[in-house]
A and B are shown apart, each in its own frame.
Chain A
Amino acid sequence: GQQVMQIPQYQHVQEGEDFTTYCNSSTTLSNIQWYKQRPGGHPVFLIQLVKSGEVKKQKRLTFQFGEAKKNSSLHITATQTTDVGTYFCAATTSGTYKYIFGTGTRLKVLA
């Protein structure tokens, strides 16, 4: 079935370092959403990307949708301990009407 590959699975960074997680698909995506799940919590919506090549920013977070709409990335500049959690992408393809979640990237930030 359709898959969305997300890498890396884990990332440990020192506080202040940058972090990036990537989602890749073999098929063209309609849109992609990003979620953050804090330890012990539930996924919380961060942003949605719809257009080819779209770039959106939220403070230290930069989200990008690839030109071919087959990949996306989330980049965090100068990580803080509050960034700890698992980041998921979730994507739809044309006509499927459901989201496929990536396996998530668990981020640990060392103070």
Chain B
Amino acid sequence: DVKVTQSSRYLVKRTGEKVFLECVQDMDHENMFWYRQDPGLGLRLIYFSYDVKMKEKGDIPEGYSVSREKKERFSLILESASTNQTSMYLCASSLSSGLGSMDQPQHFGDGTRLSIL
């Protein structure tokens, strides 16, 4: 069974801090995603990656960056945390049936609830 593990379930940080959210998947999936989930807004894509060292901006990349140095790990970085980045962050991964293809189920981690004070 696919396991997507996010490093923290809950995290509290201060405004201006650099924040790292880590995600690891154990199924050799090519595609990895970072979403944030806010009430009434559903899941919004921040960044995704379809291969090691490859990254693509999603719909709301401002204030975030990502790193994918190894296939199994996808990190989300908040360069200088702000209160409007308080949210639930979800990582997901999926198999690729071809480079950049996104036609396979996404498997989600349990999420990190991040509070910025």
Contact = CB atoms under 8 A, between A and B. Distances in A.
Interface of A: 1, 6, 9, 30-31, 33, 35, 41-45, 48, 50, 88, 90, 92, 97-104
11 contacts: A33-B105, A35-B106, A42-B90, A42-B110, A43-B92, A45-B107, A88-B43, A98-B56, A98-B58, A99-B45, A101-B42
A83 to B, nearest CB: 19
Contact of A45 (B43, B106, B110): B106
Contact of B41 (A50, A90, A99, A103): A103
Interface of B: 33, 35, 40-45, 48, 50, 56, 58-59, 90, 92, 100-103, 105-111
Given A97-B50, A97-B102, A9 B40 contact: yes
Given A44-B108, A97-B101, A103 B42 contact: yes
A50 B108 contact: no
Contacts of B92: 43
Contacts of B105: 33, 45, 48
Most B-side CB within 10 Å, residue of A35, A43, A50: A43
Given A45-B105, A45-B106, A92-B102, A101 B90 contact: no
B59 A1 contact: yes
Contacts of B50: 97
A98 B42 contact: no
Nearest to B110: A42
A100 B106 CA distance: 12
Given A98-B56, A98-B58, A42 B103 contact: no
